[in-house]
Amino acid sequence: MAAPLHHPTIDEDVALRPTHLLVDLDALADNLAAIQQRVGVGVGVMPVLKANAYGHGLVPVARLMQRLGVPYLGLAYLEEGIRLRRAGIDTPILILGGILGSQIPLFIQHDLTITASSVDKLLAVEECARTLGRRARVHLKIDTGMERIGVHWYSAQDLLDSSLGLQHVDVEGIFTHLANSDSSDLGHARQQLERFNDVLDFYPRHSLPTPMRHAANSAGVLQLPESWLDMVRPGIMLYGVLPGSTISRTVTVRPALRWTSRVVYFKVVQPDSPVSYGSTWRPSKMTRLVTVPVGYGDGYMRAMSGRAQVGLRGQRYPVVGRICMDQIMVDIGWDSAWNDDEVVLLGRFGDQSLTVEDLAIWAGTIPYEILTNINTRVPRVYSSTRFPDLVAPSPRRS
């Protein structure tokens, strides 16, 4: 009889792979507290956990946010919400993205709040809830200048009128999204808020209670207090990264990620000997290279080739040659390194650090893409002094 297949646990994955992410749950908790302090106790905070919690791990971050008592979680897609429900998360969850009619029963069955972005979709939610004999929750989406999803502010009257006659749907909230709140010129963001407030006037004009209002993303939290309303939706700043290099730093947050690997090979390379695919780099003199088992298959982006640096033994060294799918080569000159030495790809080493912004500059992109591009084949390891029960035991290195 064949032996049963063995499925490695996450801890075993970490023990097997020298490349992993260390996620500091205490930093996330501190960042949430800093955001809450910024907006005040009267404003709710909806952490946005889409895209695998910006690369930090959807379920573990959601468990922390639930422990911290947030009133809502924000996600992009239905499947993210279902995953959290199956993991035991019972905090209210708003799916911020567009929906298909065929998805509505799953929203209702898993108690996920739906973004209603048109009259047709709102009525489809009502009909589905009636058929299932259940109640549905929706937030109405108003497009004030993003041109993505949502009914235009100038034609929102029909959506709001339709929302009044529903028998099986609770209209819990109404929201918009700011396209340029990270700009030094906040003119467009303020115009969006004016348009949104014009839509909201519908409720006092009809002597009706106003649903929960929300508009502010991370940049809105930082530099547009008039956008805070009843609830804010911080995304990237929750993870300790600001949404722009020139944005007002009105909240102090700290990065929660440290990405490391290990040296797996050491060699001496002769002058003018080409390194990696395409032979784009050759040393001008004899040098020492180390190979590190990480590459663009992990999200260490190929566009950083010829620009990236790593931390090793307290020093910065350049990544040379093209970044491969699974490996990079690092030029350490005539310094020393040993197999199993830690290599820092992102985060602190000694008195230095490599930031998400550094990697974004090297890749010619934005910090958001760096974080969300880190592949799920990179194991996540969680640390916390305050929430030890949310941290799985880390494997011991042999």
Segment 224-258, tens digit of pLDDT: 999 999 999 999 999 999 998 889 899 999 999 99
Could you tell me which CATH class the domain 25-239 is placed in? Answer: alpha beta
- In sequence order, the β-bridge partners of residue 170 are 137
Q: What is the pLDDT of residues 282-338, one digit of tens each?
A: 999 999 999 999 999 999 999 999 999 999 999 999 999 999 999 999 999 999 999
Note the pLDDT of residue 2: 39
Domains 25-239 and 257-354 share a fold: no
State the architecture of 257-354 in CATH terms: Beta Barrel (2.40)
Look up 50 and say whether it is catalytic: yes
The average confidence (pLDDT) of the chain is 94
Alpha helices by DSSP H, the chain:
10-16, 25-39, 50-54, 58-67, 78-86, 104-109, 119-132, 157-164, 187-200, 202-205, 218-223, 356-363, 367-372
Query: Domain locations in the chain?
Result: 25-239, 257-354
Pick the catalytic residue from 154, 265, 267, 277: 277
- List residues bridging with 353 in a β-sheet: 348
Contact (CB, 8 A) for 93 and 73: yes
72 belongs to the catalytic site? no
Structure tokens that stand for 358 in this block: 């550094």
In 3D, which of 47, 59, 64, 102 has the Cα closest to residue 83?
A: 59
Q: Give CA–CA dist 312/318, Å, rounded.
A: 10
pTM above 0.95, yes or no: no
76 vs 165, residue with greater confidence: 76
The radius of gyration computed from the CA coordinates of the chain, to the nearest angstrom, equals 24
Q: Give the mean model confidence (pLDDT) for residues 94-121.
A: 95
